[in-house]
C-alpha cells in the first residue's frame, strides 16, 4: 500500500549531539551508520510528512525528497526539534518558487504561534494554509485515501500543545507516537473504543533503556505502553513495533538499544529506515 521513511531518529540534540563529546557521542562518531541520527521526522511520500525539524534540508538531500511537492505537513508540537519554522520563509518570492504551491500545515495553535513568530510578518507571502487540529477529530485527505487522527500526548507543559497521530492509509493503520510520554487516559480511552489493529507503531523511546514516563518514554514504560496496546487488541504479533527519537543522554548506542528491545519484539529505528505496509 505505502511506505513510511524515518527521516531522523534523534531527540533535540541529534546523535552525535551538537557541541557534545560525551562517551556516546564519541562512539557514535566512530561507529557512524545507524548511530548517526538526525532530528526525528517522517515522510509517507513527497507530498505528506510529519514534523519539519532543523535537519529538514539535509533530510531532503539524503532521501531525495523534493519539498516543492510537499502538500500536507502534520506537526506534532512546536518544540524546535520538530518545527524549524524559519525554513518556511524560503518559500517567499525572490527566494524560491515555493509560494506557487500551497502547503497545508496541521497542528495545535502553539504551532501556528511559532510559525507566525519565526516568519516575522512574511506569512502572507508563503502560501501556507494553517489548519488547526482538534484532538480526536479526523482530518481527511481523500485524494490520498488517508485519515489522520490527532491524539493528546503527555509532553508539553501545557498538555493541550502536543499531539501525535494515528493514520489510516487505505486499509492500513499506523501510529506515529514520538514525544508522547505515557499516553494520557483520554487517549487510552479513544484507543480502547476504536476497532483499529495497527500494522505499524512507532513509539517514543527517548531515554532508551532508562525508565521514563513523563514527557518522554524510556525503559519499562516503553514496554508498558506496548503491553497496554496489546491488552486493548490494538496490536498483535503481526504489528511491526518500532522505537524512535533517542537522546545521547540515554547512554545507549544502536546495538545496546537492540539488545534491550529485540527480546520484546521491538525494532530499533534509525535514519533511513523504510517501513512498508
If the CB atoms of residues 87 and 194 are measured against Zn ion, the closer one turns out to be 87
Closer Cβ to Zn ion, 115 or 172, answer by number: 115
R_g over Cα of the chain = 18
C-alpha separations of 223 from 9, 102, 204, 218 in Å: 19, 41, 11, 9
| Least separation in angstroms between CB 136 and Zn ion | 21
Binding status of residue 108 toward Zn ion by CB under 5 A: no
214 Cβ contact list (under 8 Å, min separation 6) = 154, 181, 182
Question: Are 11 and 40 in contact, with CB atoms under 8 Å apart?
Answer: yes
Least separation in angstroms between residue 82's CB and Zn ion is 6
Nearest to 148 by CA among 162, 168, 177, 131: 168
- Which one among 1, 18, 22, 137 touches Zn ion, defined by CB under 5 A? 22
> H-helix or E-strand containing 150?
strand 146-152
3 state SS of 91: helix
CA distance 62 to 48: 17
The residue among 146 and 225 lying less far from Zn ion, judged by its C-beta, is: 225
Q: Which range binds Zn ion by CB under 5 A, 57-65, 177-185, 191-199, 220-228?
A: 177-185
Site string for Zn ion, 231-250 (x = CB under 5 A): -----------------x--
The Cα 239–Cα 13 span in angstroms is 30
The number of residues that bind Zn ion (CB under 5 A) is 8
Q: What is the smallest separation between the CB atom of 255 and Zn ion, expressed in angstroms?
A: 17
25 counts as binding Zn ion under rule CB under 5 A = yes
Smallest distance from the beta carbon of 11 to Zn ion, in angstroms? 5
Q: Which of 79, 91, 108, 169 binds Zn ion (CB under 5 A)?
A: 79
Alpha-carbon distance 89 to 122, whole Å?
A: 7
Select from 35, 81, 161, 271 the one that contacts Zn ion (CB under 5 A): 81
Our finding on whether 20 is near Zn ion (CB under 5 A) is yes
Q: Does residue 17 interact with Zn ion by CB under 5 A?
A: yes
Least spacing, CB of residue 174 vs Zn ion, in Å = 19
Q: Which cell numbers hold the place of 134?
A: 482538534
Other residues' Cβ atoms within 10 Å of the Cβ of residue 166: 24
Q: Is 7 in the site for Zn ion (CB under 5 A)?
A: no
Footprint on this chain of Zn ion (rule: CB under 5 A): 17, 20, 22, 25, 79, 81, 179, 248
Amino acid at each position: 500500500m505505502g511506505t513510511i521513511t524515518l527521516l531522523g531518529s534523534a531527540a533535540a540534540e541529534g546523535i552525535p549531539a551538537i557541541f557534545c563529546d560525551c562517551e556516546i557521542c564519541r562512539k557514535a562518531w566512530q561507529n557512524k551508520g545507524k548511530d548517526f541520527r538526525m532530528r526525528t521526522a517522517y515522510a509517507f511520500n513527497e507530498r505528506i510528512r510529519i514534523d519539519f525539524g532543523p535537519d529538514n534540508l539535509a533530510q531532503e538531500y539524503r532521501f531525495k525528497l523534493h519539498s516543492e511537492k510537499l502538500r500536507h505537513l502534520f506537526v506534532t508540537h512546536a518544540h524546535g526539534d520538530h518545527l524549524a519554522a524559519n525554513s518556511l520563509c524560503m518559500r517567499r518570492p525572490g527566494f524560491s518558487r515555493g509560494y506557487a504551491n500551497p502547503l497545508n500545515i496541521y497542528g495545535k495553535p502553539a504551532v501556528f504561534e511559532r510559525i507566525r513568530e519565526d516568519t516575522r510578518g512574511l506569512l502572507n507571502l508563503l502560501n501556507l494554509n494553517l489548519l488547526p487540529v482538534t484532538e480526536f477529530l479526523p482530518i481527511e485527505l481523500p485524494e490520498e485515501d488517508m485519515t489522520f487522527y490527532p491524539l493528546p500526548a503527555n509532553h508539553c507543559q501545557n498538555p493541550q500543545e502536543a499531539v501525535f497521530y494515528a493514520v489510516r492509509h487505505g486499509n492500513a493503520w499506523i501510529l506515529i507516537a514520538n514525544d508522547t510520554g505515557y499516553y494520557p487516559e483520554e487517549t487510552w480511552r479513544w484507543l480502547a473504543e476504536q476497532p483499529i489493529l495497527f500494522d505499524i507503531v512507532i513509539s517514543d523511546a527517548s531515554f532508551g533503556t532508562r525508565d521514563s514516563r513523563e514527557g518522554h518514554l524510556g525503559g519499562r514504560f516503553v514496554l508498558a505502553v506496548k503491553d497496554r496496546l496489546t491488552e486493548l487488541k490494538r496490536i498483535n504479533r503481526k504489528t511491526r513495533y518500532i522505537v524512535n527519537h533517542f537522546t545521547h543522554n540515554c547512554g545507549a548506542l544502536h546495538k545496546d538499544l537492540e539488545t534491550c528491545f529485540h527480546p520484546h519484539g521491538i525494532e530499533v529505528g534509525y535514519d533511513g529506515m523504510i517501513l512498508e505496509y
